[in-house]
Structure 1
Amino acid sequence: MRRLPPFFPGSQRPLLIAGAVAAAAAVAATALAGGGGSSDGRGAGASATAADGLRHTSVEVSEGGCGKGWAHPHRGKQVFDLRNTSSRAAEVYLTNPVNGSVYGEVEGLGPGTTRPLRVTLGGGSYAFRCLPDDTDAVTGPTVTVAGPARGGGPAAVPVTQQDLIPPTIAYQKWVQGRMGELVRRTDALRSAVREGDLAAARAAWLPAHLVYERMGAAYGTFGDADGAINGTTAGLSGGVRDPGFTGFHRIEYGLWHDASASSLRGAADQLDKDVRALRDSWPQQRMDPADLGLRAHEIMENTVQFELTGRTDYGSGTNLATARANLDGTRAVLDRLRPLLTSRDPGLPEIDSWLGRTRKALDAAHQGDRWTPVDRLARGRREKINAAAGALVERLADVAALTDVRRTR
C-alpha cells in the first residue's frame, strides 16, 4: 500500500452521494465566489441565474445569521453561495432538520469568504447548520420547498465516531487473523534465500507479498513498519542501491535482476524480522475509526496510480496480482462497513457490481500461476481493466464521504 496525500482536503470535502459537491473548481462558480462578496452584488437573499445556467442564492454563515438569505426556495439544481460574515472559520451543512441528515456541505469556510454549494433539491424541509470553529453549532430557520420530494438528491445520516468503532475493531481482528500467514509465507521466502534456491525464492515471494497487500487499510496504523516492509525507492537518493530500500521490493529487485542468494540474505532476514515485529505489536495497536471508510477508497486509488501503471514493478511483473489483492482488501473493509452503508448508500449495489467487474477484468490476466505484466497487456484488455478500476474508485469516493465523521454540535 503506497501513501497518497489525504483524500478530501479539509477545504474541499464533497458529499458525493447527495449529489451536492462542495468544491470551488467550476470556473463559473469560482468567478461568483471571487473577492469574498455576494454572487451578484445584491447581498444576502439575492437570487439570479448565473453563467453556469443555475440559480444562485447568497446565504449568510454566522453565529447570529446562519442560513439568512434563503427567502425564495425552489426545487431542482441550484447553487448556494455561502458567505461567511463572521470572524471564525466554519463548516456548513444543508440538513434535514427532522433527522439531521446531510444533503451537502462545505468545510473550512474562512472569515470573509464565499464558497458555492451545489445541490439538487426535491420538495421538503431544509435548514442550514453552521458549525463555527471553537464554538457551538447553530441551526438556521427551517425552509420548506414546495412540491414532491422526488427528484432531489438523497441525504446521508451523519456517521459518528461511535458508529465506526465496531467495524474498526472487526477489521483489526481480521488483520490479526492474517498475521500468522504473513509470517509463515515470509519465513518460506527467507528460508529459500538462505538455502540458495533462487527459483524457490521467486515462487515464494509473490504469495508472501500478496498477504501483506490485502491488509491495505491498516497501512496508516502500521506506521514506519509499512515503509520497511513494503517501501519503494521513491524519495531515496540511491535508488535501488540505497540502504533505505528494504522489504519485499528490495528482494523482488534482486530476485529478478540476477542477484546472488548471498547478497539477498540480509534483506530477507530483515524482512522476516520486521514482519514478526509487526505481528507481535499489532494486538496493541489501535486504528483510528475515522480512517476506515477513507481507506476503502484509498486502497483502490493507490492501485490505479501505482499498480495499474507498473510504477512499482521491480522485476516480477506481478502488479496485476497486487491489484487483485488490493481488491480483496477493499472488499474486506466494505464488508465491515456494510451495516452502516446499507441504510446510507443507495449506490452500494453498484459498488458491489464494479467490484465484480474489476475482479473479472483482472482475473482475465491470470493464467495458472502467472500474471501478465502490465506493459504486456493487449491494449483492449488494459483499457478494460483501467475503466473498471476507475469506475470503482469513483464510486468508492462515496464511501469515504459517507463515513467521514461530522460534527453534530
Structure 2
Amino acid sequence: MLSMSGANEPLQRHPEAGVSAESDSDPSATAAAPDPARAAEADGEPGAITAAAPPRTRVPRTIGLAAGAVVAVAAVVTVAVLAGGGHDGDGDGKGGQGGTATPAADGLPHTAVEVSTGSCGRGWTSPHPGTQVFDLHNSGSGASEVYLADPASGRLFGELEGLAPGTTRQMLVDLGSGTYAFKCLQEDTDAITGPKVTVPGSTPRGPSTLPVTEHDLIPPTLAYQQWIGARAGDLARGTAALEADIDGGDLAAAKRDWLSAHLVYERMGAAYGTFGDADGVINGTAARTPGAVRDPSFTGFHRVEYGLWHGESAASLKAPAAGLDSAARALRDGWSQARMDPADMGLRAHEIIENTEQFELTGRTDYGSGTSLATARANLDGTREILSRLRPLLTPRDPAVPQLDAALDRLQHALDAAGKGGTWTPLDRLGQAQRERINADTGDLLEQLAPVAAIFDVRRTA
C-alpha cells in the first residue's frame, strides 16, 4: 500500500470539443471493448463516430489521490509498503494506550505514538519485528505528514499524509530488525526526527523505498524537456508536409504524412499537461453528439483524419490542415518558455499507458484511419522515453525493474505483430487471440508501472 498526495493535476489527453469530460474509469473497458463503432449519426452522416460509452477524461486518477488517501499498487511488488489509515485504533480518538503493542480487533499488535514538533515518535517503547499498526495521534496544532524511516539511509518504511490536529490514524508496516525513527513534518515547520528505536533480532526488513525529492527530479525533467523540444521541431516539419500534400491535392501522400506526423505527437505523451490548450487544438476529439465532427471547435489531427478517410475533398481540408500546422509551429516556437513540473514525471509514465488502454485500444480515437495500434505503439515509445530519464533514480528504488522491462518488451512485441511494412491492422480486424494478448500485456504493464508513479511521488525530507 502506498499513500500518495495527489497534488499533481491529471493529464488531459484528447479533450473532447464542446464537452466537459467527466471521470468514468472502467477497468474492464479494454477487455470487453467491442470492435470500433462506425455507424451513421442521427443526421444520416455516413461513417460518423457514435458513442460507445460515456465521455471520459483521458486520465482518471487510479493513482495519486487526495491527501491522506491510500491506494493499492501492485501488492506483489516489494518496492514500498507505505500506508496511511483513517480511523482510531480503539474508537476513542487516541489509539492504543501505554506505548506498548496491544492486540486489536484486526488481530495485529497496535502501538500508540504521538505526532507533534515536541513529541514526535513518543510512545514506541517495546519494538518488535513483523506486521503491526502504529496508531498515530497528532497532538500538535497543525496538520502533519509522518514517515517511519531508517535514520541512517533515509529509506521509508511507512508514510501517512494529512494527519489533522487532534486526530488519530493508523500506519500499517512490516518491520524487520534494525533501527528506525519517526519523522514528523508539520505544515510550515522544519522536519522533526523522533528518537531512534531498534527492533531486535535478525528478521529481514520489510519493503521500503528511498524518498524522491523535487530536486532529484530536476535534471531528468530538464533532459526530457530538451527531448520534447527536438520532437516539436519534427512535429512542425510533419504538419508542414501534410499541409503541402493537401494544398497540392495529393490525398494519398497526405494519408501517409498524416500518420507520420501524428505518431511524432503521440510519442510526446508526458508533456501534454504542459501543452495546455494547444493539446486540444492539435489532438482533440469530437464531442459524441450528432454532427459533432462538423463543429468548428473540432480541429487538429483527428479532424484531418476524419476528412481524409471519409472522402472529403482536398479543398475542404485546406483550412483544418493549415490550422493544425499553425498550432504545431506555435508549440515548437513557444516550447523554450514552457516549464514542466518535475513532480509529474513518474505519474506520466503510468498515465500514457492508461490512456492507451482506455482510448486507443477501444477505438475511441479512431476517426477512420484504422491506426489505433500504431498510436498505441507510439505511446509505448513515449513511456520508454520518460522511463529512460527516470531510470537512474528508479533502479536503486525498485527491485522489480527487470519485470517492468519485460512487460514493456512483451507489449511492444504484441503491437509490432499488428504492423507490417508501415501498414497497421485495424482493431476490428484483429483476431480474438491477438486482441486478448494485446489487452493482457497492456494490463500487465499498467500493474508494473503503478509502483513507478508511487515511488516518484515527491516527498519532503526536511
Shift of 1:86: 2.9
Seen in structure 2, the aligned counterparts of structure 1 residues 31 and 116 have a Cα distance that, compared at 3 Å, is closer
Aligned-pair identity (%) = 60
The answer to whether 1:4 aligns with 2:59 is: yes
The answer to whether 1:198 aligns with 2:251 is: yes
Residue identity opposite 2:64 in structure 1: F
The question of whether the paired residues in 2 share the 8 Å contact of 1:18 and 1:103 is answered with no
Seen in structure 2, the aligned counterparts of structure 1 residues 45 and 377 have a Cα distance that, compared at 3 Å, is farther
The question of whether the paired residues in 2 share the 8 Å contact of 1:18 and 1:104 is answered with no
Q: Of 52, 72, 91, which residue of structure 1 is paired with 2:126?
A: 72
Q: Of 50, 55, 60, which residue of structure 1 is paired with 2:105?
A: 50
Under a length normalisation based on structure 1, what TM-score does the superposition of the two structures give?
Answer: 0.89
What do residues 245-287 of structure 1 show as CA deviations (whole Å, max 9, x unaligned)? Answer: 1111111122222222222211110000000111111122222
d(CA) in 2 for partners of 1:205, 1:274: 15
Query: Which of structure 1's runs of 4+ aligned residues deviate more than 6 A?
Result: 33-36, 235-238
- Please give the secondary structure, in 2, of the residue aligned with 1:94: strand
The match for 2:377 is: 324
Q: Of 107, 113, 124, which residue of structure 1 is paired with 2:161?
A: 107
Structure 2 portions without partners, runs of 5+: 1-11, 14-57
Residue identity opposite 2:81 in structure 1: A
The question of whether the paired residues in 1 share the 8 Å contact of 2:82 and 2:157 is answered with no
Residue identity opposite 2:140 in structure 1: S
The match for 2:219 is: 166
The question of whether the paired residues in 1 share the 8 Å contact of 2:79 and 2:451 is answered with no
Give the stretch that moved more between structures: 266-275 or 279-288.
Answer: 279-288
The question of whether the paired residues in 1 share the 8 Å contact of 2:121 and 2:183 is answered with yes
The question of whether the paired residues in 2 share the 8 Å contact of 1:15 and 1:105 is answered with no
The question of whether the paired residues in 2 share the 8 Å contact of 1:14 and 1:401 is answered with no
The match for 2:81 is: 20
What do residues 22-80 of structure 1 show as CA deviations (whole Å, max 9, x unaligned)? Answer: 255xxxxx6656968245x65765521433x4433333322223223333322222333
The question of whether the paired residues in 2 share the 8 Å contact of 1:84 and 1:111 is answered with yes
d(CA) in 2 for partners of 1:342, 1:395: 14
d(CA) in 1 for partners of 2:225, 2:166: 43
Seen in structure 2, the aligned counterparts of structure 1 residues 36 and 165 have a Cα distance that, compared at 3 Å, is farther
d(CA) in 2 for partners of 1:33, 1:298: 35
Residue identity opposite 2:424 in structure 1: W
The question of whether the paired residues in 1 share the 8 Å contact of 2:84 and 2:161 is answered with no
Residue identity opposite 2:340 in structure 1: M
The question of whether the paired residues in 2 share the 8 Å contact of 1:36 and 1:113 is answered with no
d(CA) in 2 for partners of 1:243, 1:35: 58
Seen in structure 2, the aligned counterparts of structure 1 residues 315 and 83 have a Cα distance that, compared at 3 Å, is farther
Give the stretch that moved more between structures: 131-140 or 69-78.
Answer: 69-78
Residue identity opposite 1:242 in structure 2: D
Shift of 1:203: 2.0
The answer to whether 1:261 aligns with 2:314 is: yes
Seen in structure 2, the aligned counterparts of structure 1 residues 135 and 323 have a Cα distance that, compared at 3 Å, is same
d(CA) in 1 for partners of 2:314, 2:211: 54
| Within-5 A mapping of 1:188-227 | 188-227=241-280
Seen in structure 2, the aligned counterparts of structure 1 residues 327 and 386 have a Cα distance that, compared at 3 Å, is same
Shift of 1:95: 0.6
Seen in structure 2, the aligned counterparts of structure 1 residues 46 and 229 have a Cα distance that, compared at 3 Å, is same
The match for 1:404 is: 457
The answer to whether 1:97 aligns with 2:158 is: no
The question of whether the paired residues in 2 share the 8 Å contact of 1:89 and 1:133 is answered with yes
Shift of 1:156: 2.1
d(CA) in 1 for partners of 2:384, 2:229: 17
d(CA) in 1 for partners of 2:135, 2:312: 61
Give the number of the structure with larger relative contact order, counting CA–CA contacts within 8 Å between residues 6 or more apart: 2
Structure 1 portions without partners, runs of 5+: 25-29
Residue identity opposite 1:299 in structure 2: I
The structure with the greater share of residues assigned to helix is: 1
- Please give the secondary structure, in 2, of the residue aligned with 1:130: strand
Under a length normalisation based on structure 2, what TM-score does the superposition of the two structures give?
Answer: 0.80
| Within-5 A mapping of 1:357-372 | 357-372=410-425
Residue identity opposite 2:65 in structure 1: P
The question of whether the paired residues in 1 share the 8 Å contact of 2:183 and 2:191 is answered with yes
The answer to whether 1:273 aligns with 2:326 is: yes
The question of whether the paired residues in 2 share the 8 Å contact of 1:296 and 1:334 is answered with yes
What do residues 93-151 of structure 1 show as CA deviations (whole Å, max 9, x unaligned)? Answer: 11111122212212122233333322222111111111111222221222211222525
d(CA) in 1 for partners of 2:278, 2:286: 15
Q: Of 292, 298, 311, which residue of structure 1 is paired with 2:364?
A: 311
d(CA) in 2 for partners of 1:239, 1:115: 49
d(CA) in 2 for partners of 1:279, 1:254: 25
The match for 1:37 is: 93
The question of whether the paired residues in 1 share the 8 Å contact of 2:101 and 2:126 is answered with no
The match for 2:43 is: none
Give the stretch that moved more between structures: 2-11 or 142-151.
Answer: 2-11
